[in-house]
Amino acid sequence: MDFQLTEEHLMIQKAARDFAINELLPGVIERDEHQKFPAEQVKKLGELGFLGMMVSPKYGGAGLDAISYVLAMEEISKIDASASVVMSVNNSLVCWGLETFGTEEQKQKYLVPLATGQIIGAFMLSEPEAGSDATSQRTTAEDRGDHYLLNGTKNWITNGNSASVYLVMAQTHPEKGSKGINTLIVEKNMPGVTIGAKENKLGIRGSDTHSVMFQDVKVPKENRIGEDGFGFKFAMKTLAGGRIGIASQALGIASGAYELALKYSRERKAFGKEISQHQAIQFKLADMATRIEASRLLCLKAAWEKDHHLDYTLSSSMAKVFSSETAMWVTTEAVQVHGGYGYVKEYHVERLMRDAKITQIYEGTSEVQRIVISRSILA
Ligand code: CAA
């Protein structure tokens, strides 16, 4: 067992850290406050290869492994989880699915601009009445010979307004349940696509979350991914990788809050000494560091399994549930270490605490992860 990162891993980690500090930190509070999408920063992330990290260079990607992806996601998320969710969705949910299951034509047309960051993508599974219960899709993709007629509404869509290409799950054969669902590649500018209002969220406020409506959208047959009825399996397989991304995002939020708490505890004095010299604070720091290390190991193990073409469904759900619960706990404790200062925006930890919450909800709630884990261990 080798816990050593390679030179290349360390280089990518440093590049992501430098980008986060130089490009994301300035303005992160303002973007959060005004719900401003980090458009310029996302463009630069694309230019640096962070939006198609694991895509083959043949399709414009950086050709890196999943370990590199975890390291980069952690660094970006320490500073700006609104930017890292764009990165996670584009890499894991959109590019990976297209590269793994798309046709050569679909890859040339859609994957290349997505992997090079010329455009960004969105993944559309959730609906007003189909969140955790993802098989209950109400959006329909009626087979009309050479095209599908798409009708329905998708909710909570990350990159909902900024994405140009969507992967949309919709029901074609309702009588077949999960086996009747298809995933279609839909372009934002196809007639019949309407973007709903932007959600006013608790956290990751810089990210662009919308509902998206489809009314009689004609989607060419060649835009279906995989065989007829493969759509639900496509979504589940894609989400298994997506969960490594969100677990790493949660890890980054936690380690960002921990680093701030550690620094503050060495600066702030109370009762005649630095608060880091009080055991009450030392125990908090020790617990934070331990839980973060456990999260990091789970994320890296899931990534390692992915890189070795092993089944990572169980490990990615374990990483996600543990890291997201760690993020919620660590960020709350980081606010506590900061006392009153932790409750105001300038010290960043209150934002990290708000951002942490979504990691327990999207790409499968903590309850969904426990369903996946318990099914796997009981199988
Ligand atoms: N890989 C391959 N196939 C899978 C699979 C996987 N990981 N998980 C399930 N399947 C298959 C099953 O084998 C089954 O196929 P068969 O009938 O051939 O056996 C089929 O899919 C249906 O599976 P289930 O019967 O297990 O389905 P279920 O209705 O019981 O639901 C669930 C299972 C795990 C709860 C699933 O619905 C789920 O993951 N829900 C959460 C959805 C989710 O994560 N949504 C996030 C939206 S995206 C998002 O948040 C992005 C963003 O913006 C950041």
Question: Mind listing the pLDDT tens digit of every residue in the chain (379 residues)?
Answer: 889 999 999 999 999 999 999 999 999 999 999 999 999 999 999 999 999 999 999 999 999 999 999 999 999 999 999 999 999 999 999 999 999 999 999 999 999 999 999 999 999 999 998 989 989 999 999 999 999 999 999 999 999 999 999 999 999 999 999 999 999 999 999 999 999 999 999 999 999 999 999 999 999 999 999 999 999 999 999 999 999 999 999 999 999 999 999 999 999 999 999 999 999 999 999 999 999 999 999 999 999 999 999 999 999 999 999 999 999 999 999 999 999 999 999 999 999 999 999 999 999 999 999 999 999 999 9
Is there a domain that residue 184 lies in?
Answer: yes
Is there a domain that residue 276 lies in?
Answer: yes
CA of 160 to the centre of ligand 1 (A): 22
Is there a domain that residue 37 lies in?
Answer: yes
Is there a domain that residue 270 lies in?
Answer: yes
Query: Within this chain, do residues 317 and 226 fall inside the same structural domain, yes or no?
Result: no
Residue that has been written with the tokens 């399994």 in this structure: 305
Query: Within this chain, do residues 267 and 372 fall inside the same structural domain, yes or no?
Result: yes
Query: Within this chain, do residues 253 and 165 fall inside the same structural domain, yes or no?
Result: no
Pick the residue whose CA is nearest to atom 44 on ligand 1: 364
- Residue 1: the pLDDT is 84
CA of 372 to the centre of ligand 1 (A): 9
- Cβ atoms of 139 and 151 closer than 8 Å: yes
- Residue 67: the pLDDT is 98
- Residue 160: the pLDDT is 97
CA of 178 to the centre of ligand 1 (A): 9
Query: Within this chain, do residues 116 and 189 fall inside the same structural domain, yes or no?
Result: no
Is there a domain that residue 88 lies in?
Answer: yes
Residues 6+ apart with CB under 8 A from 185: 98, 106, 110, 165, 166, 167, 168, 219, 223, 224, 225
List the domain range (segments joined by +) for residue 113. Answer: 7-120
Pick the residue whose CA is nearest to atom 36 on ligand 1: 134
- Residue 356: the pLDDT is 98
Domain count across the chain: 3
CA of 231 to the centre of ligand 1 (A): 10
Pick the residue whose CA is nearest to atom 25 on ligand 1: 178
The model carries a pTM of 0.97
Pick the residue whose CA is nearest to atom 12 on ligand 1: 233
Query: Within this chain, do residues 284 and 205 fall inside the same structural domain, yes or no?
Result: no
CA of 236 to the centre of ligand 1 (A): 4
Query: Within this chain, do residues 152 and 65 fall inside the same structural domain, yes or no?
Result: no
Taking the CA of residue 133 as reference, the ligand 1 atom at the shortest distance is 37
Query: Within this chain, do residues 86 and 152 fall inside the same structural domain, yes or no?
Result: no
Taking the CA of residue 85 as reference, the ligand 1 atom at the shortest distance is 54
Is there a domain that residue 351 lies in?
Answer: yes
Position 206, amino acid: G
- Cβ atoms of 217 and 243 closer than 8 Å: no
Taking the CA of residue 157 as reference, the ligand 1 atom at the shortest distance is 53
Is there a domain that residue 2 lies in?
Answer: no
Query: Within this chain, do residues 24 and 78 fall inside the same structural domain, yes or no?
Result: yes
Residues framing ligand 1 (Cβ under 6 A): 85, 89, 93, 123, 125-126, 132, 134-135, 158, 178, 232-233, 236-237, 239-240, 313, 362-364, 368, 371-372
Query: Within this chain, do residues 195 and 256 fall inside the same structural domain, yes or no?
Result: no
- Out of 120, 154, 172, a domain closes at 120
- Residue 220: the pLDDT is 98
Is there a domain that residue 1 lies in?
Answer: no
- Residue 283: the pLDDT is 98
Query: Within this chain, do residues 368 and 261 fall inside the same structural domain, yes or no?
Result: yes
Query: Within this chain, do residues 52 and 98 fall inside the same structural domain, yes or no?
Result: yes
- Residue 13: the pLDDT is 98
Residues 6+ apart with CB under 8 A from 42: 51, 83, 86, 117, 120, 162
Q: Residue 301 is part of a domain; what is its CATH number?
A: 1.20.140.10
Three state DSSP letters for the chain:
CCCCCCHHHHHHHHHHHHHHHHHHCCCHHHHHHHCCCCHHHHHHHHHCCCCCCCCCHHHCCCCCCHHHHHHHHHHHHHHCHHHHHHHHHHHHHHHHHHHHHCCHHHHHHHHHHHHCCCCCEEEECCECCECCCCCCCCCEEEECCCEEEEEEEEEEEECCCCCCEEEEEEECCHHHHHHHEEEEEEECCCCCEEEEEECCCCCCCCCCEEEEEEEEEEEEHHHECCCCCCHHHHHHHHHHHHHHHHHHHHHHHHHHHHHHHHHHHHHCEECCEEHHHCHHHHHHHHHHHHHHHHHHHHHHHHHHHHHCCCCCHHHHHHHHHHHHHHHHHHHHHHHHHHHHHHHCHHHCHHHHHHHHHHCCCCCCCHHHHHHHHHHHHHC
Q: Which residues are catalytic?
A: 363
Taking the CA of residue 122 as reference, the ligand 1 atom at the shortest distance is 53
Query: Within this chain, do residues 278 and 152 fall inside the same structural domain, yes or no?
Result: no
Q: Residue 208 is part of a domain; what is its CATH number?
A: 2.40.110.10
- Out of 120, 137, 169, a domain closes at 120
